[in-house]
Chain A
Amino acid sequence: MKTKIKNCIIKHIETMVPSKIVNNMDLDFEEKIKKKIVKNTGVEQRHVLEDNQSFMELYKQIGVNTLQALNWDKDTIDGVIVVTQTQEYRLPATSCILQGELELNSEAFAYDISMGCSGYIYGLYNAMSNIAASSGEIKRVLLFVGDAISTIVNPKNKSNVFLFGDAVSCTAIEYDTNAPETPFILKTDGREFDNIIIEDSGLKNKITYSSFEDYTDEDGNINSKDCLKMDGAKVFNFTVDNVPNIVEETLSYSQINKEELSNYCFHQANKFMINFLSTKIKVNDKTPINIEKFGNTSCASIPLILTEIKSATKNNMLVGFGVGMSMGTCIVDLENTTFNHSIYKEQTE
């Protein structure tokens, strides 16, 4: 499905990572294995939550930073959207808790979206369509996108533990009648929903002691049922089969030439995949990569690229793909956008 949304501008993108850094070469695996995995995934280090560190605190601080950066009064916020797969509670929604923590306007709407690697695109799409459909009544929306995947990875699983980092982002979107249209394409292919899954995580399979017991999978990898299970080969095939097409489709739908685009910001799945995609689409020189520093941060990876390159340019293509399987693309104008990235600091009273 395709659409172009009018009257919305991205004012600011803020990202934050926890202060704890894990260097992949320090992990408890054989030296040879570590070198090979680091080379293949491109991930050298990752920021992860400390045990028992509150993820909500990161959301809260990034919200405060965003309001400060824009000098936006908290009463002027009309809506809060949180995109995550690692919510604080089954209920209530994290967005509702955040509205209270940030003391935002009580007339603001708030809802959570459950979405992974394509989540930033869906989040932008939702925030913008909420604004566009209100004919200007909804003026300012804060879109929080972040996951703490390190909390759901088995530390002995060598496919996943090297790969995932934690991060949050906050994108401030405002109603602006002079804003250019933002084209979006969104797709779902539920046929392969179990390519990336946590088997014992919800109400389908009851979580018991055995959910936490290590088992060895057919590839000889250790995992447990309370943790992320990923069929890397299938995910790779899905991506290769679908992502180049959706990029082409987005170009033709937006009627923007390949050359006019300043950047192609792919979800930072792993270095091999990003290189493969950018080579196939022939946009290597316009494909920023920062996975070596942060790992795969799920739905936060695209904003994390944007605050890294701080590219205040007109045509930036964002490409999200993964768990679901789900895909989304858009072309955003960031000419008037400000960017900031920071590392979480414990607040001392």
Chain B
Amino acid sequence: METSFLHTIVFKTGIVHLYWGHVVMWLLGFVFIYLAIKKEFEPLLLVPIGFGIFIVNLPLTPLMGVNEEGQRELINIFFHYGLEWEVIPPLIFLGIGALTDFGPLIANPKTLLLGAAAQFGVYVTFFGAILLGFKVPEAASIGIIGGADGPTTIYLTAKLAPHLLGATAISAYSYMAMVPLIQPPIMRLLTTEKERMIRMKQLRPVSKLEKILFPLVATGIICLLVPDSAPLMAMLMLGNLFRECGVVERLNKTAQNELLNIVTIFLGISVGATMRAESFLSPKPVFIFMLGLVAFAFSTTGGLLLAKFFNLFLKEKINPLIGSAGVSAVPMAARVSQRVGQQADPKNFLLMHAMGPNVAGVIGTATAAGLFLAILR
């Protein structure tokens, strides 16, 4: 009797259910937490994601499954209502909208086209993924990594290929954190020293009225043309209207801080918890990681090359380095443009010019996701 009782107790611990895959995933989770703490790579996301990976790979933990009564377990509830119901990515966009100054984009609207060109990587990778044997909806979810926009990647993958959510989200956020490492060699390779030294005219001041009109105009245009992008675009622009209108400071602060922080916690832990050893340790996530890098490289290239193309016709030349900021990753990609520019000419200030394509990239990626949905659903 006692032996049988002990036997039952032992089998109810996680220890006897452990296998090497769990340990590999713990190590991956610890690497994420290490990168966040030691290197400060996207710490707000990598800490909860790393912890999510760790706890979901502790055997028998009632966190990500369904219990005997058919009810979802704790993190599964966050995942289901937050990601599967598409609540979290639009709320993150609300916060991003409240944090973003679209002034540089309004002052120089042609930078919107650089943001569009930087979606090149999305479509090249989409093709690459199909070539590697992924189905079309899966390929779209992998391609969107090239937009360097975590919430959009999650939004699209949750709709088209939910089984790839962990891999695409991790790939997007990992490469976003590595933008300062990935982009500069490509930028230097595709530009001459002379091009990197181009100085751009100071941006005109943008009036408050223009900044208030922008979210209304942008929502109208984009949601009319690509209705499927509305959950992201509408929330992004609502957040921006909070910021610019100047009469809802409480809502603006909440969207920028408390709300954004709360949903980031739920997002991080839910994404991490999708990475179970049983499903994650297969060739597919490795391919997705490789394709994510291809996506970033081609997105950087697309923005740069269009800026160079513009220079064939423009009297006032554009520094092509700002084109690479068309990958979203706000504001890191713009900072990279500034840094690489200053290596060629220490007195050249490209940051504000690069913010235009940078925020255009956010709009471009959300539009690309909406178009994928419109075509594939």
Q: Does B associate with A?
A: no
